A = this chain, B = another copy of it.
């Protein structure tokens, strides 16, 4: 069964606000057996509303909208949809009393304009709003369903769970969506595609999407099925083949962030970590401490922007900086060793580079980053040249550093899932 989502509100057509309700609605619809075919954002404008609802009703079984149910003049969804479906609006006394009561409970009298919110199209079922004044509407027409929900997120979510979900359970198809969320780092999108597309093409029962995010590639295989065991088996098999093709580059099969996977490795191996950062300016420490419970493995970090502090805080010899430059493999290694010794951590990480936009030279261009990961006995250094602006360079540098830490641990023959 297919659904379309319509977000109504002129403010959603400005540069300042996105429709975020559709993420929640999509997750819930998928669970109820509906596939989201399209999403629309439309202003509070009669003719546009008519067109978008009419088009959606021609295509899909379920049309669900958010917004435009408020008391003011500019909210038109209720009236426009009723008219489009050829239904008269009638005052519902129970709803009116409910709205009046809600205002009274806040010590106020209901303004006249709110009376509009008690108008219900003939044959429609009002959906109770436990968090606000605008009731929702459930309207069945020619075997299809139109659901109008209020725009404020807390009202929409509460109403969906309480009023819409049980009704959908009786209508959704037998099919449910089963999905996995694979995360890959260290390979570009095109390389991931070359490795995995010959595999997923052999599984027409699964739809696989490749998604590129800064510093990582995501792979989302999805199976619609009425047989949970069969869907799970198919996904397990597909994921196993992806794993073989991607090897150690695959770091999660359940959508975990890289820092969460690294945190798991550190905790599993009872290892601790400390970081000395230059160009990433604290972002690596921030990501490592973003994981709840990080105090069990994160010892500490320094942001040694200046050469003096590289020497003072992590014992990088002044002569080394003079000889090789602050942005060099040798200094990254010295920073990693220095911070490890300072903090008695299992692993020390050093990051130095040029995030730009200024500071680049022909020999040491913007995007050049040296990363070192060391333990008591061994040391590893890699040199990167990241593309993009300051923000992207810094993010990719933290991603690469986290990945080097992850790979420090023996590969468990499977990504954490």
Give the residues in chain B near A38, CB-CB below 8 Å. 13, 40-43, 48, 52
Q: Across the interface, do A111 and B190 meet the contact criterion of CB distance under 8 Å?
A: yes
Query: What's the least CB distance linking A292 to chain B, in Å?
Result: 5
Complex contact B14–A26 (CB within 8 A): yes
Q: By DSSP majority rule, is chain A's interface helix, strand, loop, or mixed?
A: mixed
**Chain B residues, CB < 8 A from A281:** 285-286, 288-290, 294, 298, 301
Interface size for A (C-beta < 8 A) is: 101
A70 to B192, CA, bound (A): 13
**A388 interfacial by beta-carbon distance below 8 Å:** yes
Contact yes or no, A197 B282, CB < 8 A: no
A226 within 8 A of B: no
On whether the beta carbons of A293 and B16 are closer than 8 Å, the reply is no
* Contact of B300 with A11 in the complex, beta carbons under 8 Å: no
Q: For residue A142, which residues in chain B have a CB less than 8 angstroms away from its CB? A: none
Does A413 reach chain B (CB closer than 8 Å)? Answer: no
Chain A residues numbered 151-205 whose CB sits less than 8 Å from any CB in chain B: 152, 154, 179, 181, 188-191, 193-194, 197
Q: How far is the CB of A344 from chain B (nearest CB, A)?
A: 9
The CA of A57 and the CA of B394, in the complex, are separated in Å by: 40
A54 CB, nearest partner CB in chain B, Å: 11
Contacting pair B74 A209 (CB below 8 A): yes
Cα distance, A22 to B15, chains bound together (Å): 8
Nearest-neighbour CB distance to chain B for A212, whole angstroms, equals: 6
CA distance A220 to B179 in the complex (A): 40
Question: Given A283-B282, A300-B305, do A209 and B113 touch, yes or no (CB 8 Å)?
Answer: no
Do B356 and A292 touch across chains, with their CB atoms under 8 A apart? yes
**B37 close to A48 (CB less than 8 A):** yes
A361 sits at the interface (CB 8 A): no
CA distance A289 to B300 in the complex (A): 18
The one of B40, B189, B197, B313 that contacts A73, using a Cβ cutoff of 8 Å:
B197
Q: How far is the CA of A156 from the CA of B63 in the complex (A)?
A: 31
Whether the pair A300, B286 counts as a contact (CB closer than 8 A) is no
List, in ascending order, chain B residues with CB within 8 A of A220's CB: 11, 14, 16
Q: List residues of chain B with CB within 8 A of the CB of A212.
A: 70, 152
Name the B residues within 8 Å of A106 (CB-CB).
385, 387
In angstroms, Cα B390 to Cα A293, docked, is: 11
A254 near B: Cβ within 8 Å?
A: no
Decide: B300 and A300 in contact? CB cutoff 8 A: no
Residue interface bits A257-299, CB-to-B below 8 A is 1, else 0:
0000000000000000000010011111110111011110011
For A190, the chain B residues whose CB sits under 8 A away are: 71-72, 111, 113-114
Give every chain B residue within 8 A of A282 (Cβ-Cβ): 277, 282-286, 288-289, 301, 303
Asked if A55 CB lies within 8 Å of chain B CBs, one says yes
Q: Per-residue 0/1 for A46-81: is the Cβ within 8 Å of any B Cβ (1 yes, 0 no)?
A: 001000100100000000000000111110000000
Take A209-B11, A211-B16, A358-B292 as given contacts and tell me if A131 and B387 are in contact as well, using a CB distance cutoff of 8 Å: yes
Of all chain B residues, the one with the shortest Cβ separation from A71 is B190
CB of A357 within 8 A of chain B?
yes
Contact of B300 with A302 in the complex, beta carbons under 8 Å: yes
Query: A141 CB to closest chain B CB, in angstroms?
Result: 21
Interface presence of A320 (CB below 8 A):
no
23 A-B interface contacts by CB (under 8 A): A11-B209, A13-B35, A13-B36, A13-B39, A14-B220, A16-B211, A17-B211, A18-B23, A72-B210, A73-B193, A73-B197, A154-B389, A281-B285, A281-B289, A281-B290, A282-B285, A282-B286, A282-B289, A283-B286, A290-B391, A294-B305, A300-B304, A300-B305
Apart from A11-B220, A14-B222, A15-B26: 9 A-B pairs, beta carbons within 8 A: A13-B37, A13-B39, A15-B30, A37-B48, A38-B40, A71-B190, A106-B385, A312-B342, A313-B313
